[in-house]
Structure 1
Amino acid sequence: MTTSSPAPLATEADPALFRDAFRGHPAGLAVITAAGPEGPIGLTASSVSSVSVDPPSLVFSLSGRTTAPLLAAAETVVVHLMDSGQADIVRTFATPGTARFTADQDWEWLPTGEPLLRRSPWSLRCRVDERLDVGSSRVVIAEVLEVRAGTPAGEPLVYHDRTYHRLSEASALS
């Protein structure tokens, strides 16, 4: 019988290796929107996660120099959980310098003041409860105030190894 030796462990957290590790860890995609000082703002995030059911709460992290600080300062946000039918919107909100909130994105202002992407299968209107600076990012914890169910247009959309992927029945493990 052949015995293999364990893989060597790194002695420090190399940022490049950290990024590589998470490139291999798939994540769902969301677009987070809010009312900014000069109009609607939004970005794509792969860091959204549920935290609590009672009260319904979620967490996400933001990094960047343009939209992220404005979004992090908002008192309320809408987290749109996207599926493969909205891959075009996800790409738009992930690409710096692209026109967002156009007629192609099919959006409207909610009566409460936040921008809503109508094609999203799930939209969670949230009140920001806490903000925590961690390294170069800001972690946001928010209580869900309202859940809107839309019409799913496709299979779940995930981000893996810097590429968008569609999950289907064929990808299920028995």
Structure 2
Amino acid sequence: MITTQRPESARTEPAWESASLPAEDFKLLFRGHPGGVAVITAEGPDGPVALTATSVSSVSVDPPLLIFSLSTFSSAAPAIATAQTVVVHLLDADDLEIARLASTSGADRFADPLLWTRLISGEPVYHGVRAWVRCAVTERMSAGSSTVIAAHALQSNIARSAGSEDAGAPLVYHDRGWHRLGEHSRIR
């Protein structure tokens, strides 16, 4: 009797569904991969919301697109996931307190009216951050316990430009801690 195996492409379940890297191994893997720190804000049905993210990445210059992901475990995720527009704040080390505020569970991220205002278009924006970009959400994709958002850049403000005397050191999150990039960390 001759037996044949079905070709790989004829499997009924994708290979990634039958085996997966354990969650703790995956977390450990990405603890060693630093990410730039951003705070994303939007106007939700119950008022302004904010969260800290390290998943922001540029995708295209023409048109100007960026992406980021939202964990379903974040209290701000439902409002940001359904918002038509968002503001992505790109932080430097001088903005650490805003990063901490937006990442603290249960904190009222907009209690201090001196920290933020609204753009003419209505989105909440924090004062004094290195740079922010107002975006229109163009795509949403479910990805496990997260939602990936693609957004088209509409308007920006760069308060402290790279290379200028008042430029701050970029804020990076690595191995469960905040870090400041600077000349001391440059590899020549």
Per the normalisation by structure 1, the TM-score is 0.90
Equivalent residue runs for 1:4-153 within 5 Å = 12-63=20-71, 64-103=73-112, 106-151=115-160
CA displacement at 1:105 relative to structure 2: 5.9
Which has more radius of gyration? 2
Q: Which stretches in structure 2 are left out of the alignment for 5+ residues?
A: 1-18, 161-165
Matched residues in 2 for 1:91 and 1:153: separation? Answer: 20
- Displacement over 6 Å in runs of 4+: none
Q: In structure 1, give the amino acid aligned to 2:45.
A: P
Q: Is the CA contact 1:118–1:150 (under 8 Å) kept in the aligned structure 2?
A: no
User: What percentage of aligned pairs have identical amino acids?
Assistant: 49
Offset of residue 103 of structure 1: 2.7
Give the Cα–Cα distance (whole angstroms) in 2 for the partners of residues 65 and 123 of structure 1: 21
Q: How far 1:12 moved relative to its partner?
A: 4.1
Of residues 128-137 and 59-68 in structure 1, the stretch that sits farther from structure 2 once superposed is 59-68
Aligned-pair Cα RMSD in Å: 1.4
* Residues 148, 65 of structure 1: alpha-carbon distance in 2 compared, 3 angstrom cutoff: closer
Q: How many residues align?
A: 164
Q: Does the CA-based 8 Å contact 1:42-1:67 persist in structure 2?
A: yes
Secondary structure of the residue that 1:148 maps to in structure 2? strand
TM-score (norm 2): 0.83
Question: Which residue does 1:172 correspond to in 2?
Answer: 186
Please give the alpha-carbon distance, in whole angstroms, between the structure 2 residues aligned to 1:92 and 1:134.
26
Deviation at 1:13, TM superposition (A): 1.3
